[in-house]
Amino acid sequence: MACVVVGIATMDVVHRIPGYPDEDTKTRIRATRKARGGNGTNVLIVSAQLACFASYHWIGSLVDPSTNADARFIVDDLSAHGVYTSSCQVHASGSMPTSHILLSDANGSRTIFHHRELPEVSDEHVATALATLVDVAWIHFECREAQSQLRMIRIARATQPHATISLEVEGPRHAWDDVQPLLSHATYAFIAQGYVTSLGYATARDFFHALATTATSELRAVVVPWGSDGAFVWCTATNCMDHVPVDPIPKPLDTVGAGDTLVGATISALGAGLAIQDAVAIGCRVARTKCLQIGLEFEPTTLDTFRDDVVRSLRRSTM
């Protein structure tokens, strides 16, 4: 069964610095690395390593990799992890989106400066791509433009009626009036802490209480990652709100992609059959491990441990 992600890929340039600089000062960079980034493709990379689905597919905008070095770098990285890129919308010219990231050694925080000129993947292309894929079990949408997202989700429901659909909303730029209707069409929603607080809610529970008064016909659960506090989960069927804690991290090494890691691992665990609370617990553990290492590439022994966690959780749920 296939996992499909509709979202973005970027060229990330990560600069390690001693601490976040004051304005109008000079800071020496300790190290610089280039990596493929983007929420959607980060989710795919993490999920592909956990291998809970049979195949992984990215649908997004891509400059022709035969003529663009950054696009080739991105495609090569995804292919190395078993992610198929043949469903992408390929543009003959242009440049891949770029993010310059300041990674603070003082506390592991990351500050992102993002630039893009490449058009977002079109509704029409998503419709064509989804119609050609078979045995699709899961479709995950990274909310790029909230106003067009509803059309894409409806396309997914029509072309892949048996697939589970998840949605991630991160950027505060998305108006709540545009985001709220999306929730009744997704099966699972991942809402970033920054987005929740941008709406004026101090806690995830306050946000969930407000959500409980809205229509959520298809929605099973909402997950709000909350940094070092783990994540919060609201199940619509029971109106139950749970906190999933995570073990503290004395000093994070690299938090770039930690939220994407939680999403990717949670989707994998849900796809394997875990209940939402158990799946989010797996997601939190994988995200914690990610914060203790550079990048999203996990050691084989670490991946074996995560997979064993999934199996043990499944056994407990059937006892």
**Stretch 113-124: mean pLDDT, rounded?**
95
Interatomic CA distance for residues 165 and 182, integer angstroms? 11
Interatomic CA distance for residues 254 and 290, integer angstroms? 7
Domain with 81 in it: 2-21+29-318
Interatomic CA distance for residues 120 and 144, integer angstroms? 8
Inter-residue contact 228 to 268 (CB < 8 Å): no
Could you read off the pLDDT of 8-32 as tens digits, one per residue? Answer: 999 999 999 999 998 999 999 999 9
Could you read off the pLDDT of 28-67 as tens digits, one per residue? Answer: 999 999 999 999 999 999 999 999 999 999 999 999 999 9
Q: What is the mean pLDDT of the chain?
A: 94
Inter-residue contact 38 to 9 (CB < 8 Å): yes
Could you read off the pLDDT of 174-218 as tens digits, one per residue? Answer: 999 999 999 989 999 999 999 999 999 999 999 999 998 876 788
Q: How confident is the model at residue 318 (pLDDT cuts 50, 70, 90)?
A: low
From the CB of residue 132, how many other CB atoms can be counted at a distance below 10 Å? Answer: 9
Give the burial class of 165: count Cβ atoms within 10 A of its Cβ; 0-12 exposed, 13-18 middle, 19 or more buried: buried
259 closest CA partner among 286, 294, 297: 286
From the CB of residue 311, how many other CB atoms can be counted at a distance below 10 Å? Answer: 10
294 closest CA partner among 264, 252, 247: 252
Interatomic CA distance for residues 2 and 186, integer angstroms? 18
| 3-state DSSP assignment of residue 42 | helix
What pLDDT score was predicted for residue 122? 96
Question: How many CA atoms does the CB half-sphere of 243 hold within 13 Å?
Answer: 11
Higher pLDDT, 6 or 146: 6
What pLDDT score was predicted for residue 110? 87
CATH code at position 73 = 3.40.1190.20
Apex CA 139: angle with CA 307 and CA 58, to 5°?
85
Six token digits for residue 58:
């990215």
- For the chain, what percent of residues have pLDDT higher than 90? 84
Structural domains in the chain (count):
1
- What pTM was estimated for this model as a whole? 0.95
